[in-house]
């Protein structure tokens, strides 16, 4: 997730910007840059790939870039690999405009084509550069910066927090926001913008939060804010009393919880660029409809939670495509002499894009002639570069070791890919397809509903946190979901936990159930609800305590059998795991919290597993 900071005042801007960017480092980034307006009214831009210390060395800690007005940026690559040229700020060709941006401009290709046709030359592969170039295009014609900013904002689609400097606006910079965080800071004789308060808390605790559609003109002596129709807006000021470490986590105690709460937004970012006017668009997919039709084998390969996404994917893709889909652990696939060839598609899934076993599996699949497609979060990572095609999840950086938002975004992306393939193959009816699309559109809001109230889950965690063994059972998609719920719990709470296909219990595992054993019974897969209820009855008869999960419409029915029932909103059956996983993540979190575990950095685990 990119970070933005802007300063205007009497001090030298560059050291303040560098210091602010350092405070945003926790958000994750791969490159950084600053733009500062010189006394001669030149936009000086310094930027580089890599850590902030590279930028600091390049600018002598900011001292080599003189000026009292500037914006800075840490970039987390989305469009274009991490590189010096793709780093922000981006300058317009005439060097009159500099832009930093957090978010994704969804229609940048169309705008770029328009500007290229006008003779504009682009330097970078980013979506952001179109904002700088389009702004200069309008500014050339109107000579009015604010007017040009509004024209640009009306033309671009997607999410943005923008910091904009104009050479001809020597005492102010402009900020704009839609679906990406940006706040205003009011200091003594200086003002700021920032992606979050950490970047400016040293200088001021007096802030106002920008709302979608607002545009701010930021000067040293104050900030004017306007709404989407350029009408002045009075902002409510807030006093921030968080300490710096709480501020980094957005006020949450742990990154994991922050990332759990970010899931609706992350999923929205995954869905929105690929769903236009109710139609699925996979422009980035390097597979033609003919090539999709010619595939005779689909194999999903991944590790850990990414593998669990593949498990859900197997059920969903087979349902949608009416073709066999295999899912394999990457560490098994690579040594299994896998049966894939030129007519196979191997889909590898990886948050980090660096997991060694997944990488090895990808290379092997390629060596065997298979087409490869990667679902990856980290842009420019090894897996993203080596796969034939890549679909980015755009979840933003995930800091907590236990994945949450990467899992959710991978899941929804794989569902969307499955639906797209099904449309190409004609294996799904138009009505069914429309139902899924409509549920995809409401999914982020439904996720918000689940996350809005965590009290019941917190209470259940307080009842069961000292159990030594917890079982998750479920059928079909609920079984796949249970695997993730169980992994989440064991990795951060260190409680032994296992996930079982509910129908498999009686083939051995049921002997482990005794008085007071906690069984988390997942019953959100409506077609097999009755079967799952029978399994609850079986384990209850052996003394198990039950925490059960289902969709709202089945909650009442389930409470006749289970003492503790959690519900999530109903949605299309294939999307139900996207909602069901949320209570499981929260349960794991609160159990680990009660046990005093190091939630963000569980013992023996690493975020990126680059060893075998
Ligand atoms: C669990 C978790 C791991 C990862 C696994 C694969 O919370 O995060 O199981 O899912 O190590 O990592 P990636 O997705 O980076 O390949």
Q: What is the pLDDT of residues 487-545, one digit of tens each?
A: 999 999 999 999 999 999 999 989 999 999 999 999 999 999 999 999 999 999 999 99
Atom of ligand 1 nearest to the CA of 358: 16
Interval 165-179 mean pLDDT: 96
* Per-residue pLDDT band at 239 (split at 50, 70, 90): confident
* Tokens linked to 216: 């701010």
Distance in Å from the first CA to the final CA of the chain: 29
Distance 485 CA to ligand 1 centre (A): 14
pLDDT at res. 197: 85
Distance CA 218, CA 119 (A): 32
**C-alpha dihedral sign at 164, 169, 173, 176:** negative
344 CB under 6 A from ligand 1? no
Q: Are 546 and 536 in contact (CB under 8 A)?
A: yes
Taking each helix axis from N to C end, the angle separating 430-452 and 263-271, rounded to the nearest 10 degrees, works out to 160
Catalytic residues: 2, 607
pLDDT(308) > 80: yes
Return residue ranges of the chain for CATH 3.60.20.10: 3-241
pTM: 0.81
Distance CA 300, CA 525 (A): 22
Return residue ranges of the chain for CATH 3.40.50.10490: 249-449, 455-594
358 CB under 6 A from ligand 1? yes
- The CA distances from residue 312 to 188, 407, 451, 462, in Å, are 54, 11, 22, 29
Each residue's pLDDT tens digit, 452-491 = 999 999 999 999 999 999 999 999 999 999 999 999 999 9
Q: pLDDT exceeding 90 applies to what percent of the chain?
A: 86
382 CB under 6 A from ligand 1? no
How would you list the strands of the sheet with 496-501, edge to edge?
496-501, 469-474, 518-522, 545-551, 564-568
71 phi and psi angles, rounded to 5 deg: -130, 150
pLDDT(322) > 70: yes
Residues in the chain: 612
* Domain 249-449, CATH homologous superfamily name and number: Glucose-6-phosphate isomerase like protein; domain 1 (3.40.50.10490)
Each residue's pLDDT tens digit, 560-575 = 999 999 999 999 999 9
352 CB under 6 A from ligand 1? yes
Atom of ligand 1 nearest to the CA of 609: 11
Each residue's pLDDT tens digit, 375-407 = 999 887 889 989 999 999 999 878 899 999 999
305 CB under 6 A from ligand 1? yes
Instruction: Tell me which residue has its CA closest to atom 7 in ligand 1.
Output: 402
Each residue's pLDDT tens digit, 99-137 = 999 988 999 999 999 999 999 999 999 999 999 999 999
* Per-residue pLDDT band at 612 (split at 50, 70, 90): low
Residue from 28, 303, 362, 585 whose mutation best tests the ligand 1 pocket (most atoms within 8 A of CB)? 303
DSSP 198: G
pLDDT at res. 184: 97
**C-alpha dihedral sign at 248, 251, 256, 259:** negative
pLDDT at res. 25: 86
- The CA distances from residue 335 to 338, 344, 491, in Å, are 8, 18, 26
Distance CA 101, CA 79 (A): 12
Domain 455-594 fold is Rossmann fold (3.40.50)
* Tokens linked to 374: 């990667």
State whether CATH 3.40.50.150 applies to domain 3-241: no
Helix (H) or strand (E) holding 18: helix 13-23
Residue from 349, 355, 592 whose mutation best tests the ligand 1 pocket (most atoms within 8 A of CB)? 355
Distance CA 257, CA 590 (A): 10
CA atoms within 13 A on the CB side of 187: 22
Interval 48-66 mean pLDDT: 95
246 CB under 6 A from ligand 1? no
Distance CA 225, CA 19 (A): 26
Each residue's pLDDT tens digit, 417-456 = 999 999 999 999 999 999 999 999 999 999 999 999 999 9
DSSP secondary structure of 47-82: EEES-HHHHHHHTTTTTTS--SEEEEEEE--SSS-S
How would you list the strands of the sheet with 325-329, edge to edge?
325-329, 297-302, 344-350, 371-376, 389-392
């Amino acid at each position: 997730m990119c970070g933005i900071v802007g300063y205007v005042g009497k001090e030298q801007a560059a050291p303040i910007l560098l210091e602010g960017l350092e405070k945003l480092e926790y958000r994750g980034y791969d490159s950084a840059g600053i733009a500062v307006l010189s006394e001669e009214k030149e936009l000086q831009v310094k930027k580089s790939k890599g850590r902030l210390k590279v930028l600091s060395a390049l600018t002598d800690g900011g001292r080599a870039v003189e000026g009292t007005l500037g914006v800075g940026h840490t970039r987390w690559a989305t469009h274009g690999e991490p590189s010096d040229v793709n780093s922000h700020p981006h300058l317009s060709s005439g060097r009159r405009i500099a832009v930093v941006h957090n978010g994704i401009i969804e229609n940048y290709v169309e705008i770029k084509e328009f500007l290229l046709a006008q003779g504009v030359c682009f330097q970078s592969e980013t979506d952001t550069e179109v904002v700088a170039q389009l702004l200069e295009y309008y500014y050339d014609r109107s000579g009015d910066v604010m007017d040009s900013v509004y024209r640009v904002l009306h033309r671009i689609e997607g999410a943005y927090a923008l910091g904009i400097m104009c050479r001809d606006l020597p005492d102010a910079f402009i900020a704009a926001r839609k679906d990406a965080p940006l706040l205003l800071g009011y200091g003594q004789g200086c003002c700021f913008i920032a992606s979050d308060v950490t970047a400016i808390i040293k200088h001021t605790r007096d802030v106002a939060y920008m709302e979608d559609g607002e545009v701010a003109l930021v000067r040293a002596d104050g900030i004017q804010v306007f709404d989407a129709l350029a009408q002045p807006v009075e902002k409510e000021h807030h006093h921030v009393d968080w300490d710096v470490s709480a501020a980094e986590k957005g006020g949450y105690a742990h990154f994991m919880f922050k990332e759990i709460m970010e899931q609706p937004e992350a999923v929205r970012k995954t869905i929105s660029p690929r769903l236009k006017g109710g139609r699925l668009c996979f422009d980035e997919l390097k597979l033609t409809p003919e090539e999709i039709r010619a595939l005779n084998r689909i194999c999903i390969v991944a590790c850990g939670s990414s593998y669990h996404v593949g498990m859900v994917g197997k059920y969903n893709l087979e349902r949608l495509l009416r073709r066999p889909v295999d899912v394999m652990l990457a560490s098994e696939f690579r040594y299994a002499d896998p049966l894939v060839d030129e007519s196979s598609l191997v889909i590898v899934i990886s948050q980090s894009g660096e997991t060694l076993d997944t990488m090895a599996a990808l290379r092997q699949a390629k060596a065997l002639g298979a087409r490869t497609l990667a679902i990856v979060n980290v842009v420019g990572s090894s897996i993203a570069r080596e796969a034939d095609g890549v679909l980015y999840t755009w979840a933003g950086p995930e800091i907590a070791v236990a994945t949450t938002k990467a899992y959710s975004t991978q899941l929804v992306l794989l569902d969307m890919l499955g639906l797209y393939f099904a449309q190409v193959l004609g294996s799904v009816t138009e009505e069914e397809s429309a139902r899924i699309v409509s549920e995809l559109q409401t999914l982020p809001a439904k996720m918000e509903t689940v996350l809005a109230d965590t009290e019941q889950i917190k209470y259940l965690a307080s009842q069961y946190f000292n159990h030594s063994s917890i079982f998750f059972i479920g059928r079909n998609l609920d079984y796949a979901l249970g695997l993730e719920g169980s992994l989440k719990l064991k990795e951060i709470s260190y409680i032994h936990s296992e996930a079982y296909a509910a129908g498999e219990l009686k083939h051995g595992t049921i002997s482990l159930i005794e008085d007071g054993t906690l069984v988390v019974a997942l019953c959100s897969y409506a077609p097999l609800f009755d079967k799952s209820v029978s399994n609850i009855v079986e384990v209850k008869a052996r003394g198990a305590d039950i925490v059960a999960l289902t969709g709202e419409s089945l909650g009442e029915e389930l409470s006749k059998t289970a003492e503790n029932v959690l519900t999530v909103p109903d949605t299309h059956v294939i999307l139900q795991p996207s909602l069901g996983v949320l209570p499981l993540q929260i349960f794991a979190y609160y159990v680990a919290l009660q046990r005093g575990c190091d939630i963000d950095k569980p013992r023996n685990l690493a975020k990126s597993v680059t060893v075998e």
